[in-house]
Amino acid sequence: MQARSNAIAGSRSLSSGSPHPNPANPTPRVLDLNQVAELLDAHPKTVRLMAQAGKIPGFRVGRLWRFSAARIYEWIEQTTYSAAA
């Protein structure tokens, strides 16, 4: 029961909008649509449309979009470097 309550508490910190719920691990492994929008300084609808079009790496869990933090950071670096070239 203790492990489950810790897991629930951890998921609450992600849904609170904090991009860094665990100080020991500053990057969560999975981001939601609003977290990616905040990271990119974009509107959530823009991020959703980009994900639907395959322009940004993401996946759906039911009706919700989720994003691998590692893949998003890789995408940012690739996009930044390809735009600079």
Question: What pLDDT, on a 0 to 100 scale, did the predictor assign at position 80?
Answer: 85
Cα 35 from Cα 74, distance rounded (Å): 16
pLDDT digits (tens, 9 = 90+) for 44-83: 999 999 999 999 999 999 999 999 999 999 999 998 877 7
Site of tokens 């940012």: 76
Q: Is the pLDDT of residue 6 over 70?
A: no
Query: Do 14 and 28 touch, CB atoms closer than 8 A?
Result: yes
Q: Whole-model pTM?
A: 0.65
pLDDT digits (tens, 9 = 90+) for 22-38: 556 666 699 999 999 99
pLDDT band for position 13 (50/70/90)? very low
pLDDT of residue 85: 67
Give the list of residues 6+ apart from residue 75 with CB closer than 8 angstroms, or none: 56, 57
Q: What is the average per-residue pLDDT within 11-16?
A: 42
